[in-house]
Structure 1
Amino acid sequence: MMKAIILSAGQGSRLLPLTADRPKCLIDFNGKTLLDWQLDALIANGLTDILVVVGFKSDAVEAHLAARDERRAMIRTLFNPFFQVADNLGSVWLARPEMDGDFLILNGDTLVSPALVEKVLRDARAPITVTVDQKAGYDSDDMKVRREGPRLVAIGKTLPLDEVNAESIGMLVFRGEGAGIFSSTVDAVMHTAEGTKSWYLKVINRIAQESYVGTVSIKGHEWGEVDFPADVVSARALTAGWANPDAETETRRTA
């Protein structure tokens, strides 16, 4: 049985004042929080052991989860006490004891549909698989990817644009030996001077220089990242279709 780890420790300071008194994961999108959309997409695909790494306003997240009255899955939290001074590698490092089998990592600001999760779980067969999408152009905030066929060659925000042919959406799958490789490399990087200032995808880039890291493309599937105020508008439009798929279908028929 695969476990899911959601990284939701951050405040989302780029969304202030919207996140002044609530973490990004509790922003409402058409009647459900960002976190609820994530949980429902995972649970719909049989992921029933879910760990949510919390930090900013952790009590609010825990209270929200308790109010779900969830009977389909076991949802637990892990508090990251240094979320304000460390990048997301710190949250991943704290969650290493949970990496005792196959697992999935999902960034706390990534909206995914159940169909997207289904495709990733079906097609991600490498020890480590990064979910990617493609588009015509990439900007400075995209987590850019260079791949050769399905193999990930490099990943990072500063990759030369002429080498980029995909972007990471913030969802990774680890199977078999991939869990141990990732966990041990995370620990090694956290023992370096730059450890607390590193993103966990920097670890993936390091692993890719020595071992095979696969990719699975979800091009054509619906997803969204919530980082900036404009993303909130886009995410509300995206989830409006998810909340009322019949209306969206009817709109397409009459367009």
Structure 2
Amino acid sequence: MTIKKAIILSAGQGSRLLPLTRDVPKCMIDFNGRTLISWQIAALVANGVTDIVVVTGFRTERVEDHALQLYRETGARIRTLFNPFFQVADNLGSCWIAREEMDQDFIILNGDTIVSDEIVAKLVSGAKDAITVTVDVKPDGDYDDDDMKVNRDESGRLHHIGKRLLPPDTNAESIGMLAFVGEGPAIFRNQVDQMMRTPEGVARWYLRAIDIIAKGNRVGTVSIEGLEWQEVDFPQDVDAANALTEKWVSQGRYGA
């Protein structure tokens, strides 16, 4: 299987990283000579993704200019969509802005997560269901309040996803990257549209849509346990992401 399209949700400022993100969007933080979004795009392009849509918000001009630079460097078609209500809506709103781009098989990726090319490859090869969620597993089962927790069965089917899952019901965590194939894009697009028509829609995470979909449809999972990724939410995450990308640079990955 090949998936040619990706949508990256990069509208937020990253206020938990202030003052680092006072004037710089989170996706533009530099890690060893590459921005966070550049690392993401390198992993996607390495797996044949050639059409990339970036949903922007905070300091959109910086991201737009950088997207043009990355287009020139990679040859991939990299476009931006501005989310004008990024300050008052959560990322379900960014999905709604990008709904017309959900017109074929695609990958969606949170704009604050650095992933390796192996992770993208594993998701693409494992996307057997209409919707597939990439998950990691903590051997000690110690998932914290900020983890997007997942309950799945032995077949890999996802039953629930959300930050409020109780420890006994949690056996994995979402890394914020999903694949939609076949009917998946239409199923997701329709659910996003329904939720955004409600008063509380703007305050929702898009993974809430996945939780609702999973009640009536099979949502699959792919485990990337043991592979390298790093979410960048807090100051300590910046140090961890620097260490990870420093290793990748020393290995010469993605031509870095």
Output the TM-score relative to the length of structure 2.
Answer: 0.94
Distance 1:174 1:31 in 2: 31
Q: What is the RMSD computed on CA atoms of the aligned residues?
A: 1.2
Distance 2:96 2:243 in 1: 34
1:193 paired to 2:217: no
Partner of 1:119: 122
Contact 1:43 1:72 (C-alpha < 8 Å) held by counterparts: no
Partner of 1:98: 101
Distance 2:193 2:6 in 1: 20
Gaps (5+ residues) in structure 1?
A: 248-255
Shift of 1:2: 2.7
Shift of 1:245: 1.3
1:172 paired to 2:151: no
1:139 paired to 2:141: no
Partner of 1:148: 153
Encode CA deviations 1:56-87: one digit per residue, 9 max, x unaligned: 00001111222332352100000000000000
- Equivalent residue of 2:88, what SS? coil
The amino acid across from 2:80 in the alignment is: T
Distance 2:113 2:100 in 1: 24
1:26 paired to 2:28: yes
Change (3 A) 1:202 1:165: same
Shift of 1:120: 1.0
Gaps (5+ residues) in structure 2?
A: none
1:85 paired to 2:91: no
Contact 1:6 1:50 (C-alpha < 8 Å) held by counterparts: yes
Aligned residues: 247
Partner of 2:14: 12
Give the % identical residues: 61
Distance 1:102 1:204 in 2: 16
Shift of 1:237: 0.5
Distance 2:30 2:73 in 1: 19
Distance 2:85 2:59 in 1: 13
Change (3 A) 1:158 1:71: closer
| Counterpart pick for 2:4 among 2, 5, 25 | 2
Output the TM-score relative to the length of structure 1.
Answer: 0.95
